[in-house]
C-alpha cells in the first residue's frame, strides 16, 4: 500500500500545484539525454543559455541571471514551525499558516504561459540507505538542467519514492524576479519548501541548501544522523591507507579547493593522494562499529568561479573544460568563459551582465559567479562517492577566515570541546551572502544560513552522539587566512594545506605530538613537515602561537554568544566555555 499511496500523494500534489499556478503545460522529467538536449535547445533559442566556444569548452553554456538575483537571500529565507522557539534565533520565523498563505498568494497563476516541470530526484547514491528523495516543481528549465547535474534525477529516483512512500516537496517559480516579491519558506514538519522570485542557484535548486541542509537537518535530528555543510575528502598515504576527513567552512572560504587539493611535489613523489568525495554537503550517520559514516548527497559541484585557476585549483579547472553550465561569468572575444583570478592569459570583452567589459564599472565576473558540473569529471573524483554505506570519517575540521588571533591549526581535547569549537566558529563574510563583505560573524559549523531549527537544539543533537561505544572522529580547527602586519597571508595555503592534514591524521593514529594550551592542542613547528615552505619569523610566531589576552576576549565573546540562545543552550557547552575561560586565566 505504501508504494501506491506515495504516487497518489505525488500526483495529488502535482495536480494541486497546477491548479494554483495554472501552467500552459506539465512535463514530468526523466533525466534522459534526449530530454536534456531538448531543454538546452529551448534555452539557447530564447537566449537563456548562450553556447560557449565549442573548441575550447564543448557542450558548455553561459547563463546570466537578473542583476538583482545573484546570491542567497538570507533575510528573505524563513523556517515555518508551529512554535517560534523551534526555529530559533538563528532563523527568520513565520507560522506555517502565514507562510503558506503568503506563498500561495504569490504562486497564484504565476506559471501562466509557462511549462511546469516535475523533477523527481535523489540526494545521495540511489541505493544508499543514507540517501533521501525529493520532488521539485519549477517553471525554470535552467533549474531542470542544473538539478540533472547536481542530483540523481529522473526515473530511478521516482522508483525509490514509490518504494519508500516519502519525499521532500519543493515548489519553485522564478516569478517576476522582483526582489520585493522574493521569499524562500521551509516547512520542516511537512518536509516542504516553497521558493518564489529567484532563479539563483541555492534559492532555486531546491535539492541543494533548502533540502540537503535546512530540511535534512530537521530530518537528521529526528532520525539520528547529521546533515552538514562540509566537504569530504580521502587522504591516501604512501602505504595505500586512506583516511576520510569532513570539513566545514563558510561559503567561498576554500572548501572546493581543499576537497580537490593536489599534494605538494614532495608529497606526490612519496605517493600521497587526495580523493574528492564531495565539496559542499555531508550526511553522516553512526555505523554498526560506532564510527561515523558519510555520503555526499550531491552528484555535482556548484562552485564559485572567481579565483579558480591552474594555481589555486587545477582539478576544478580540469573538471569544467566541457559539459558545464557557467552562471554570471565574463566572456572573451572568442566566447570562452572568464573570471577574475583565472590567470590564463586571456582577456574579457563582455561582463557578466552582457555589457562591454569596463573594469571601472564592474568586474567581468560577478564575485559569486558559479559553475555547475558533474563530480565525475573531477580528476580526483573517488568512486567511493557512490558507496552506498558511505565512508568512515577519521577527522572533522572546522575553519573560517580569521585575519588575526586564530592559529593555523589546533585539536579539540574531546567531543564536547569539539562541538564548542564548531559552535563558536567565526569567519569574515564573503560574496556568497548578500550584505557587507569582510565582517566577522559567528557561523556555527558553517551552518548559520542553513540550519533548519534552533541552534541550541542543534548543538544538543551534536552532543548526543557521544555515547558509550561511539568511536567518534577527532575534531580540529584550521585557519588558512591568518595575516601579517603587512596585510598579506602568512600561510601559503592551497596544496600546502596537506601538511596540516597529515598532522591531523598522525594525531588520529597516535603518531604525532602536540602542545597543550587552554584552547586545545597545537602542533609545534617541528610537528609539521615544512620542507620547502619559506615562513617568516612573524609567520611562525602567529601560525603556531597562542595569544592569551586575545583568547580571553574571544572566549568572553563566545560566552555572550551562547547566552543569546537562552535556556535551550546545552549546559555542557556553557560549562566547557567556562572551563576554557578558567584555563586561560591561569
Q: Which residues does the annotation place in the binding site?
A: 72, 200-202, 209, 229, 251-257, 280, 368-370, 401, 494-497
Helices 571-585 & 415-423 angle (0-180, nearest 10)? 90
How many other CB atoms sit within 10 Å of the CB of residue 483?
15
Other C-beta atoms closer than 10 Å to the C-beta of 82 total: 10
Binding-site residues for Mn(2+)? 209, 229, 280
Residues 6+ apart with CB under 8 A from 198: 69, 73, 174, 177, 182, 184, 204
Query: What is the C-alpha R_g of the chain?
Result: 23
Cross-strand pairs, 319: none
Given the residues 110, 122, 253, 451, select the one marked as catalytic: 253
Binding site membership for substrate: which residues? Answer: 72, 200-202, 251, 368-370
> Annotated catalytic, 122?
no
The residues near 342 (Cβ < 8 Å, ≥ 6 apart) are 305, 308, 309
Inter-residue contact 195 to 204 (CB < 8 Å): yes
* Euclidean distance between CA atoms 521 and 422, whole angstroms: 15
Q: Which residues contact 372 (CB under 8 A, 6 or more apart)?
A: 146, 149, 150, 201, 300, 301, 302, 324, 325, 326, 327
Residues contributing to the annotated binding site for GTP = 252-257, 370, 401, 494-497
Q: Which residues neighbour 268 within 8 Å (Cβ) at sequence distance 6 or greater?
A: 262
CA distances 365 to 18, 62, 330, Å, are 37, 11, 5
Closest CA to 140 of 30, 23, 281: 23
Report, as residue numbers or ranges, the catalytic residues: 253
Amino acid at each position: 500500500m505504501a508504494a501506491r499511496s506515495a504516487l497518489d500523494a505525488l500526483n495529488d500534489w502535482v495536480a494541486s500545484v497546477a491548479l494554483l499556478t495554472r501552467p500552459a503545460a506539465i512535463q514530468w522529467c526523466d533525466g534522459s539525454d534526449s530530454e536534456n538536449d531538448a531543454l538546452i535547445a529551448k534555452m539557447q533559442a530564447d537566449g537563456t543559455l548562450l553556447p560557449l566556444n565549442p573548441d575550447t569548452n564543448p557542450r558548455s553554456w553561459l547563463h546570466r541571471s537578473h542583476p538583482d538575483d545573484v546570491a542567497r537571500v538570507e533575510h528573505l529565507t524563513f523556517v515555518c514551525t508551529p512554535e517560534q522557539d523551534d526555529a530559533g534565533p538563528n532563523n527568520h520565523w513565520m507560522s506555517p499558516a502565514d507562510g503558506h498563505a503568503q506563498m500561495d498568494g504569490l504562486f497564484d497563476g504565476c506559471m501562466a504561459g509557462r511549462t511546469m516541470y516535475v523533477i523527481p530526484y535523489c540526494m545521495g547514491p540511489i541505493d544508499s540507505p543514507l540517501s533521501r528523495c525529493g520532488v521539485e516543481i519549477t517553471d525554470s528549465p535552467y533549474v531542470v538542467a542544473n538539478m540533472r547535474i547536481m542530483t540523481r534525477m529522473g526515473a530511478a529516483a521516482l522508483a525509490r519514492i514509490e518504494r519508500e512512500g516519502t519525499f521532500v516537496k519543493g515548489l519553485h517559480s522564478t516569478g517576476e524576479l522582483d526582489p520585493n516579491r522574493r521569499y524562500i519558506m521551509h516547512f520542516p514538519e511537512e518536509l516542504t519548501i516553497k521558493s518564489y522570485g529567484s532563479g539563483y542557484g541555492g534559492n532555486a535548486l531546491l535539492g541543494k541548501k533548502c533540502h540537503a541542509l535546512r530540511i535534512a537537518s530537521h530530518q537528521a535530528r529526528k532520525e539520528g544522523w547529521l546533515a552538514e555543510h562540509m566537504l569530504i575528502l580521502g587522504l591516501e598515504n604512501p602505504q595505500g591507507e586512506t583516511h576520510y576527513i569532513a570539513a566545514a567552512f563558510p561559503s567561498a572560504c576554500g572548501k572546493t579547493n581543499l576537497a580537490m587539493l593536489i599534494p605538494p611535489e614532495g608529497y606526490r613523489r612519496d605517493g600521497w593522494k587526495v580523493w574528492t568525495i564531495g565539496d559542499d554537503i555531508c550526511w553522516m550517520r553512526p555505523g554498526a562499529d560506532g564510527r561515523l559514516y558519510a555520503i555526499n548527497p550531491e552528484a555535482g559541484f556548484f562552485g564559485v568561479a572567481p579565483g579558480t585557476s591552474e594555481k589555486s585549483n587545477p582539478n576544478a579547472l580540469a573538471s569544467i573544460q566541457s559539459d558545464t553550465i557557467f552562471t554570471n561569468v565574463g566572456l572573451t572575444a572568442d566566447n570562452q568563459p572568464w573570471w577574475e583570478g583565472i590567470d590564463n592569459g586571456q582577456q574579457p570583452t563582455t561582463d557578466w551582465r552582457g555589457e562591454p567589459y569596463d573594469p571601472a564599472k564592474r568586474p567581468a565576473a560577478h564575485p559569486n559567479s558559479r559553475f555547475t558540473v558533474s563530480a565525475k569529471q573531477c580528476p580526483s573524483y573517488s568512486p567511493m562517492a557512490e558507496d552506498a554505506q558511505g565512508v568512515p570519517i577519521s577527522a572533522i575540521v572546522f575553519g573560517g577566515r580569521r585575519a588575526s588571533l586564530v592559529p593555523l591549526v589546533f585539536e579539540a581535547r574531546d567531543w564536547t570541546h569539539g562541538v564548542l569549537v564548531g559552535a563558536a566558529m567565526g569567519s569574515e563574510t564573503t560574496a556568497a551572502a548578500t550584505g557587507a563583505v569582510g565582517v566577522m560573524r559567528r557561523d556555527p559549523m558553517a551552518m548559520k544560513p542553513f540550519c533548519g531549527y534552533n541552534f541550541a537544539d542543534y548543538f544538543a543533537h551534536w552532543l548526543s552522539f557521544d555515547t558509550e561505544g561511539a568511536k567518534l572522529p577527532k575534531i580540529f580547527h584550521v585557519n588558512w587566512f591568518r595575516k601579517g602586519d603587512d596585510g598579506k597571508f602568512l600561510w601559503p595555503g592551497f596544496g600546502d594545506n596537506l601538511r596540516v592534514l597529515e598532522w591531523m591524521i598522525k594525531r588520529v593514529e597516535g603518531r604525532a605530538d602536540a602542545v597543550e594550551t587552554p584552547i586545545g592542542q597545537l602542533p609545534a613547528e617541528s610537528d609539521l613537515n615544512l620542507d620547502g615552505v619559506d615562513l617568516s619569523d612573524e609567520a611562525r610566531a602567529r601560525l603556531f602561537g597562542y595569544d592569551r589576552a586575545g583568547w580571553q576576549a574571544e572566549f568572553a565573546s563566545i560566552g555572550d554568544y551562547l547566552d543569546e540562545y537562552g535556556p535551550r543552550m546545552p549546559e555542557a557547552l556553557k560549562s566547557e566555555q567556562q572551563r576554557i575561560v578558567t584555563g586561560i586565566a591561569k
